[in-house]
Amino acid sequence: METAKLRGIHVPLITPFTADGRLDRAALEKLAHGVLDEGAAGLVALGTTGEPGALDAAEQAAVVGICARVCAERGAALLVGVGGGATRQVAAALQDVTPGATAALTLVPPFVRPGAAGVLAHFRELTAASPVPLVAYHIPYRTGQALDAETLRELASVPGMAGVKLATGAVDPEVVALLAGELPPHFAVLGGDDVVLPPLLALGAAGGILASAHIATARWVELVDAWQAGDVARARELGHRLSRLAAALFAEPNPTVIKGVLHARGRIPSPAVRLPLLPANAASVSRALDLAVSTG
């Protein structure tokens, strides 16, 4: 299985709904092209930001199909979210990942807290079964399972692992140790906590999977480029502004504020989300809009 290194900004697309709650396929396709036009390296279909648990099977298939077609047309990377906590369940779901996907994004097993050895065994089983490389989604404040740097480096050595989406909520010592250590050349460390992506890039992360990159996509791409070019002054200044924007976009449950901003800018037909989410309040959307304007 060929594993090409993932780099740059990957946008986990929201799922646009019409005012009466139906999937808006045309808006999704337009949004996908829009973020790629601004320099995003790829798309994530059925990430958390896309409300996959609120979509039925036909809607999920439509979302993946649209994203796959756009990525194929544009030569962009496509990651597909594959959920579930039981190893056999996830292994079976991976068999249905759309042909041509760059990788599947799948959680460190949530809720069961299997320990480091169990996490490694889980991913070894999945990579053996998967037709595409995997990116582990490490988000311990949702899964309940923390992993140390040694475990993450061992995960990187598992054949078929393309990277990890790090969303630990902070730049903690384990993250610093991971980025400071030797990793296989194909294994990408991608930031997944939008507010702390700038320091992760400074430490050597290859890019990010960022819901905030729906907004000011080109500036997020510029941030990655600045760090990789060694333009520290520009990267710091831009990183500070983008972190403030990200904080505003996550002031309410994701993706409610992002949808509010996209709707206010005329990029999606409605800010609608599906229960248990509720639309963001006007003050949160207004604050994020102001910061988006000042960020450029």
Q: Enumerate the active-site residues.
A: 137, 165
* Burial class of residue 120, CB neighbours in 10 A (0-12, 13-18, 19+): middle
Collapsed DSSP state (helix, strand, coil) of residue 209: strand
For residue 85, count other CB atoms closer than 10 A to its CB.
15
How many angstroms separate the CA atoms of 168 and 231, rounded? 26
- How far apart, in whole angstroms, are the C-alpha atoms of residue 171 and residue 199? 7
C-beta separation of 3 from 133 below 8 A: yes
Going from the C-alpha of 196 to that of each of 13, 135, 158, 160, the distances in angstroms are 20, 19, 27, 27
